[in-house]
Amino acid sequence: MKYSTWSQDAALAVLATLREEKGAILMALQALQKEFGYVHKEDVALVANFFNNSRADVHGVLTFYHDLLTEPPGDNHISVCVAEACQAVGSRQLEKDVKAKFGKEVHDGYCFGNCALGPSAMVNGAIIGRASVDAIAKARI
């Protein structure tokens, strides 16, 4: 996935689009991650200043949500659903196999709402049903 290179000005430009939003911390962090692929360490202070919150507030939000990343992501983001419905059709083994093959690209997923066609995976935002290592490999960039 292609992301912009982080700079303070670019980050502030993202925040400026959210000026009118009520309760914007989470939205701001999501918007920054969408633009840059992750939340840069200097973003915490930027968001805090911009929305007149404490840095502790922003840090608290950043560390609460699984989606928010603090390191630049790789080229591929693979999630294998490891929740119950997918476990029932072998997702535990699939996750192991996919992790063995693609290592750090693989994140735990908890339900993509595709529970009748599991095991399910999401590769770079595209959903895969009846997933296999091969199907996941094919969907990678």
Partner 1 sequence: MKIYVPGDSAAISVGADAVAAAIASKVGGSTIIRNGSRGALWLEPMVEVETDKGRVAYGPISVEDIESLVAADFMHGGAHKLSLGESEKIEWLASQDRVTFKRVGIIDPLSLADYEAHGGLVGLRRAISMSTEAIVEEVKESGVRGRGGAGFPAGIKWKTVADAVSDQKYICCNADEGDSGTFADRMLIEGDPYTLIEGMTIAAIAVGATEGIVYLRSEYPYAIKILQKAIDIAHAFGWLGSSVLGSKHAFELKIRVGAGSYVCGEETAMLESIEGKRGVVRAKPPLPALEGLFGKPTVINNVLTLSTIPAVMADGAAAYKARGVGRSLGTQVFQLAGNIKRGGIVEKPFGISIEEVVNGYGGGTLSGAPIRAVQVGGPLGAYFGTDKFETSLDYESMLVAGGMLGHGGIVVFDESVDLAQQARFAMAFCALESCGKCTPCRLGSTRGVETIDLIIQGVKVDENKKLLLDLCEVMTDGSLCAMGGLTPMPVKSAMINFPEDFTGEVSRR
Residues in region 97-126 near partner 1 by CB under 8 A = 109-118, 120, 122, 125-126
Half-sphere exposure of 119 (CA within 13 A, CB side): 27
- Tell me the window of 7-15, 24-32, 38-46, 96-104 that interacts with partner 1 (CB under 8 A): 24-32
Least separation in angstroms between CB 132 and partner 1: 12
Angle, helices 8-16/25-36, rounded to nearest 10 degrees? 130
* Member of 30, 35, 38, 74 binding partner 1 (CB under 8 A): 30
Which one, of 62, 23, 24, lies nearest residue 14 by Cα? 24
Under 8 Å between Cβ of 46 and 12: yes
One of 10, 76, 77, 89 touching partner 1 (CB under 8 A): 89
Listing DSSP states for 49-63 in one string gives HHHT--HHHHHHHHH
Residue ranges binding partner 1 (CB under 8 A)? 22-30, 57, 60-61, 64-68, 81, 83-89, 109-118, 120, 122, 125-130
